[in-house]
């Protein structure tokens, strides 16, 4: 039962964070889909199925958070790059603000718990 609870919790946590991480990966520069996957797979515990990234990019594209740019490649067929739109940047900013708030709140809760546990 506890394993199932933990599995569900970590799955939900990853789902929420992946959206933020995909947008964050695109914050500095436009990227090729595969490069986004390579960037995120280096974050331990975040990406269980690498294919998850692509439907997220499809959803962001539908919702106007990212746009795709086709660029001719000398090495082979044209490559599709993803870049943030203005809407995407705004959403990223708000997500970051929410994330900072949550991390701060959870951090303070954990500090209180540690203090109570260390009291004689």
Minimum distance from residue 112 beta carbon to another protein (Å): 32
Query: How far apart are the C-alpha atoms of 101 and 97, rounded to whole Å?
Result: 6
Choice between 27 and 54, CB closer to another protein: 54
Q: Is 54 near another protein (CB under 8 A)?
A: yes
Minimum distance from residue 55 beta carbon to another protein (Å): 5
- Chain centroid to CA 85: how far? 16
Choice between 31 and 109, CB closer to another protein: 31
Binding-site string for another protein from residue 10 to residue 39, where x marks contact by CB under 8 A and - marks none: -----x-----------------xx--x--
Binding-site string for another protein from residue 56 to residue 75, where x marks contact by CB under 8 A and - marks none: -xxx-xx-----x-------
Read off the tokens for 64: 């106007």
Residue by residue, DSSP assigns 43-98 as STTT-SSGGGHHHHHHHHHHTTSEEEEEE--SSSS-EEEEEE-HHHHHHHHHHHHH
Q: Which of residues 75-104 bind another protein (CB under 8 A)?
A: 79-80
Q: Is 45 near another protein (CB under 8 A)?
A: no
Minimum distance from residue 52 beta carbon to another protein (Å): 5
Residue by residue, DSSP assigns 2-47 as HHHHHHHHHHHHHHHHHHHHHHHHTSSS-EEHHHHHHHHHTSTTT-
């Amino acid at each position: 039962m506890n394993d199932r609870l933990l599995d569900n919790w970590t799955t939900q946590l990853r789902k929420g964070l992946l959206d933020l991480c995909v947008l964050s990966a695109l914050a500095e520069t436009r990227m090729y889909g595969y490069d986004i996957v390579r960037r995120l797979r280096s974050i331990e515990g975040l990406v269980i199925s690498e294919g998850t990234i692509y439907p997220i990019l499809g959803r962001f594209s539908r919702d106007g958070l990212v746009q795709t740019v086709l660029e001719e490649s000398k090495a082979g067929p044209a490559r599709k790059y993803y870049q943030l739109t203005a809407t995407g940047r705004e959403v990223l900013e708000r997500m970051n603000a929410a994330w900072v708030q949550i991390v701060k709140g959870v951090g303070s809760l954990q500090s209180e718990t540690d203090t109570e546990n260390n009291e004689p």
